[in-house]
Amino acid sequence: MPTTNPNPTILGIESSCDETAAAIVINATQVKSNIIATQFELHAEFGGVVPEIASRAHIERILPVIQKALAQANITDPKSQIDAIAVGHRPGLIGSLLVGVAAAKALAWAWQKPIIGIDHVLAHLHATTLENQQPIKFPALGLIVSGGHTTLCAMQDPLNVKVIGKTIDDAVGEAYDKAANMLGLGFPGGPKIDQRAQSGNENAHDLPISRLDKTSLDFSYSGLKTALLYKIRGLPTGKGKSRRFEKDHTDLNESEINDLAASFQKAAINALTLKINRALAQSPNNTFQSLVVGGGVSANSKLRTDLQTLATQNHLQLRLPELHYCVDNAAMIAGYAALKFEKNQFDDLSLSPQPAGTLS
Ligand code: KG4
Ligand code: ZN
């Protein structure tokens, strides 16, 4: 569907995991509204997101969230005020994605607007441009760190992105959540470990950093997770079903928990900076002009400080999202869609959810 509007107003919808979100963004970066309904309270007792509970909660919340996003942006007549509807259609939980995609298609049909399917992972990188007029310098090295992804990519421009490294097991955010669970800190674990680590000694325990082979840009967090488990619970006796631990986190005092949180965090983040440095060293003629970071873990205080140091040392422009754009949100979906809108890259009502996505 061709367009001529150079400053499109886009309704973004996001429902890939456990946040139901809608936003109105003008011209890729001006956020007029950004509504997020979290589901933490529904999943906390399970220590992680339960897909079936997530999709049911999306169904209940999606329309009120969209209505609130329209109202806050003073959109009273969407047919005349909105240029397109964007939806995160990959990757994610199939039942969750289905809700957002169905809502977006229904509204696109009712309002006769173009629909744009957006890759959630790429949208996280766009979050660094929301409410930030300064352009990203390309080529850029992109790092997505979330509950589902730990991915390094080479970005020629925002629409031309190639994966150069990714986790071979757990994502870094998932490792944070599991570590917090093992330490009895609750869900979601990232912010809790971040906070506890500030009162802990990061050198108290020497936890492993996965290097993989010498040139690899991939990540691995399963070894770190197991090493932390043994620090907390001691070495197990027995094997398979008869495996038993003598201790658990209730045997730790507050200061021991803080030290373990800080030591875990040091290893988890050093694993990221190690691979960023490798990617920079491997790039011919120092190609990268900037480091663009996105995803829930980019809210982490130590990661933000360490990346600032790394960027300064390597003369890179550092692009970190504002804290409220680190977590899943629909402003990043609507903003990124504007770049596709400009290039007339639209989808149609056959758009369907893709749980695996392209960057998985
Ligand atoms: O991007 P996101 O909202 O959802 C996914 O697409 O996965 O990321 C959620 C992840 C969770 O694993 C959460 O524990 C982590 O981001 N997280 C953090 C922090 N805030 C959120 N991890 C470390 N430090 C934080 N401050
Ligand atoms: Zn995400």
Q: Does residue 322 or residue 55 have the better pLDDT?
A: 322
In this prediction, residues 218-236 reach a mean pLDDT of 94
Give dist(CA 271, CA 274) in Å, integer: 5
The rounded Å distance from CA 95 to ligand 1 centre is 21
Q: SS3 of 269, please?
A: helix
Is 298 in contact with 145 (CB distance < 8 Å)? Answer: yes
Give dist(CA 294, CA 68) in Å, integer: 25
For residue 4, the model assigns a pLDDT of 62
Cα separations (Å) of 333 from 11, 22, 29, 59, 164? Answer: 9, 9, 11, 19, 23
Going across the sheet that includes 160-166, the strands are: 160-166, 150-157, 140-145, 290-294, 317-319
Which of 146, 198, 320, 322 is the best mutation target for the ligand 1 pocket, counting ligand atoms within 8 Å of the beta carbon and taking the most? 146
Count the alpha carbons within 13 Å of 349 in the hemisphere toward its beta carbon.
Answer: 10
The rounded Å distance from CA 180 to ligand 1 centre is 12
The rounded Å distance from CA 174 to ligand 2 centre is 12
For residue 28, the model assigns a pLDDT of 92
For residue 239, the model assigns a pLDDT of 83
Residue 184 has pLDDT above 60, yes or no: yes
**Best CA proximity match to 357, nearest among 139, 151, 50:** 151
pLDDT bucket at 1, cuts 50 / 70 / 90: low
In this prediction, residues 285-297 reach a mean pLDDT of 94
The verdict on the CB of residue 91 being under 6 Å from ligand 1 is no
Is 182 in contact with 192 (CB distance < 8 Å)? Answer: no
Is 54 in contact with 95 (CB distance < 8 Å)? Answer: yes
Q: Does residue 6 or residue 121 have the better pLDDT?
A: 121
For residue 238, the model assigns a pLDDT of 85
Give dist(CA 171, CA 159) in Å, integer: 24
The verdict on the CB of residue 294 being under 6 Å from ligand 1 is no
Count the alpha carbons within 13 Å of 28 in the hemisphere toward its beta carbon.
Answer: 21
Residue 42 has pLDDT above 90, yes or no: no
In this prediction, residues 307-329 reach a mean pLDDT of 96
Q: SS3 of 3, please?
A: coil
What confidence tens digit (pLDDT) does each residue in 206-215 have?
999 988 898 9
**Best CA proximity match to 67, nearest among 43, 109, 37:** 37
Residue 57 has pLDDT above 90, yes or no: no
pLDDT bucket at 358, cuts 50 / 70 / 90: low
In this prediction, residues 190-213 reach a mean pLDDT of 95
For residue 217, the model assigns a pLDDT of 97
Q: Does residue 60 or residue 12 have the better pLDDT?
A: 12
Nearest atom (ligand 1) to Cα of 147: 7
Considering the chain, what percentage of its residues have pLDDT values greater than 90?
78
In this prediction, residues 128-133 reach a mean pLDDT of 92
Mean pLDDT of the chain: 93
For residue 52, the model assigns a pLDDT of 81
Backbone angles phi, psi at 104, to 5 degrees: -65, -40
For residue 138 the two structure tokens come to 């390309």
For residue 111, the model assigns a pLDDT of 97
**Best CA proximity match to 355, nearest among 105, 5, 15:** 15
The three-point CA angle 179-299-187 to 5° equals 35
For residue 102, the model assigns a pLDDT of 97
What confidence tens digit (pLDDT) does each residue in 253-278 have?
999 999 999 999 999 999 999 999 99
In this prediction, residues 97-120 reach a mean pLDDT of 97
Residue 134 has pLDDT above 70, yes or no: yes
The rounded Å distance from CA 170 to ligand 2 centre is 15
For residue 19, the model assigns a pLDDT of 86
Secondary structure element (H or E) that encloses residue 124, with its range: helix 120-126
Cα separations (Å) of 201 from 32, 206, 232, 261, 303? Answer: 42, 11, 16, 9, 16
In this prediction, residues 148-153 reach a mean pLDDT of 94
The verdict on the CB of residue 327 being under 6 Å from ligand 1 is yes
Helix/strand/coil percentages in the chain, nearest 5: 45, 20, 35
Identify the weakest region by mean pLDDT among 15-29, 35-49, 102-116, 286-300: 35-49
